[in-house]
Amino acid sequence: MSLRNILPALALLSLVSASDALAHGDGAPQPVDTSGLEPLGEEWVATNPYRNNPKLHDIAVEIGSRGYNSNCARCHGLEVKSGGMAPDLRELGESETEDAWFLSRVLQGATVGGRQKMPPFEGLLNQEAIWAIRTYIDAQPE
Ligand code: HEC
């Protein structure tokens, strides 16, 4: 999807979700400060690099908590407890396939039957932020 397609979609989304936004902060995507996590480089890594990293795991959870709450909670629920509006992300397993699925969903968002149900985060969140969010989600009790 090009930027030209994304912008009107985002504008529309912010109108549609204006009332919902009042409950969970404004709907605009928020950049996430990832300092404290070493840069992962230009290439997208295919699996969560923080899951089995004792040094960075807890830092990732903390950064991911901020990233999740400012970008995902308004649909997927506070503390990742879904209120039914979007899937409960705690149910996604921790396999490589599910990592790949998570990454592609977050980058591309979700459009179902021509309606955008989740905005794409490509160009808005870097991969350190996306994997930190994944680490935070996985750290929540089911
Ligand atoms: C505007 C609401 C909204 C926002 C904001 C949003 N999502 Fe979603 N998300 C959805 C909906 C709705 C779906 C289900 C789409 C479908 O029907 O396929 C979804 C699906 C997903 C899936 C696939 C889940 C599965 O079980 O297949 C993942 C992963 C995901 N979102 C992660 C995120 C993350 C991470 C963020 C924040 C960076 C986020 N979403 C922000 C609404 C949202």
Tell which atom from ligand 1 comes closest to the C-alpha of 134.
Answer: 35
Q: What burial letters (b/e) apply to 11-32, b meaning 16+ CB within 10 Å?
A: eebeeebeeebeebeebeebeb
What does the alpha-carbon distance between residue 37 and residue 133 come to, in Å, rounded to a whole number?
12
User: Per residue in 55-95, pLDDT tens?
Assistant: 999 999 999 999 999 999 999 999 999 999 999 999 999 99
Fold (topology level) of 46-142: Cytochrome Bc1 Complex; Chain D, domain 2 (1.10.760)
- Distance from the CA of 142 to the center of ligand 1, in angstroms? 17
d(CA 6, CA 70) in angstroms, rounded, equals 19
Instruction: Please count the residues of the chain.
Output: 142
CB of 71 closer than 6 A to ligand 1? yes
DSSP, collapsed to helix, strand or coil, labels residue 44 as coil
DSSP 8-state class, residue 30: -
Separation between Cα atoms, residue 130 and residue 10, nearest integer Å: 19
pLDDT at 12: 45
Q: What is the predicted pLDDT for the residue at 3?
A: 53
Q: Closest residue (by CA) to atom 42 of ligand 1?
A: 118
Mean of pLDDT values over 31-44: 94
Q: What spacing in Å lies between the alpha carbon of 72 and ligand 1's midpoint? A: 7
* Residue 111 dihedral angles phi and psi, to the nearest 5°: -120, 120
The residues spanned by each domain of the chain are 46-142
pLDDT value at 18 more than 50:
no
